[in-house]
Copies of this chain bind each other. A is one copy, B any other.
C-alpha cells in the first residue's frame, strides 16, 4: 500500500521487510506448546499460536497443519519426546517402569495440558509408540504375554495420567477463580466446608475440610504407583 505508491515509481529502498517464509511444523508445534504452557488449553487458539510466531495470521498455520486437532497430535508427540527413554531395558523391570512413570510425571508437570489432550487423541505419534513399546518389552521379558503387558502398561499410565489430569484441572480451577493468594484459597475451602457441615451427615469430610491431612501429592502418587507395581509383580509371579 505505502510502497507500490503511485504507479511507475518503484521505491526500491522500501524493501518488503525481509522475506519471512519462516513457518514449519516444528516451529508451530513449539509455539503451540509455549502458549499452552503459559495460557492453558483455554488460551490455546490458532490466533495465539500465530501471534507467538510473529506477525502471522491464524490462517497461516493451516498451510502446515490440517486442523487444530492434528496440531494436538504434534504437541503430544513432541512432549512425549521429552521423556528420557533408555535404548534397552535394564535388568530391573520394576525400576525401569518406575523411572519411566516418574519421568512421565515430570513431563506432565511441565505441560499440564498433556493429560487433558492425551485422552482425546489416538497415541499414534512415533515417540508415544516407542514409549509404549518400551513398557511392553520390559513386561514381556518378565514372562507376560503381549496382551497382559498391554493391560499392565495401561494401568500404569492410567495412574500417571490420572494423577496429572486431576492436579492440572485443580490448578486450572484455582487459576480461573483467581485463587492466587492464600486468603482467597482459604475462603474457597471454607465455602466447601460450610456446605459439608450444613449437610450434617458428613463428619469425616467436614473434619478433613477443616484440617486437611494426609500425605503430600508426591507421596500420594508414589503410593498409588506402588499399588500398581505390586499388583503386577504378584501376577508376574
Contact = CB atoms under 8 A, between A and B. Distances in A.
Interface string A127-151: 0011011001100100001111111
Given A130-B202, A150-B213, A226-B231, 6 more contacts: A120-B169, A120-B173, A150-B214, A159-B159, A223-B235, A224-B231
Nearest to A176: B69
A158 B231 contact: no
A62 interface: no
Interface stretch (A50-58, A90-98, A192-200): A192-200
Interface of A: 119-122, 124, 126, 129-130, 132-133, 136-137, 140, 145-151, 154-155, 158-159, 161-163, 165-166, 169, 172-173, 192, 195-196, 199, 201-205, 207-208, 212-215, 220, 223-224, 226-228, 230-232, 234-235
B227 A124 contact: no
A215 B154 CA distance: 12
A124 B195 contact: yes
A158 B166 contact: yes
B220 A169 contact: no
B147 A201 contact: no
A223 B213 contact: no
A205 B158 CA distance: 18
B214 A129 contact: no
A151 B227 contact: no
B149 A158 contact: no
B147 A213 contact: yes
Contacts of A192: 122, 124
Query: For A162, A173, A212, A235, which residue has the most chain B Cβ atoms within 10 angstroms?
Result: A162
A129 B199 contact: yes
Contacts of A207: 146
Given A158-B159, A158-B163, A208-B136, A201 B151 contact: no
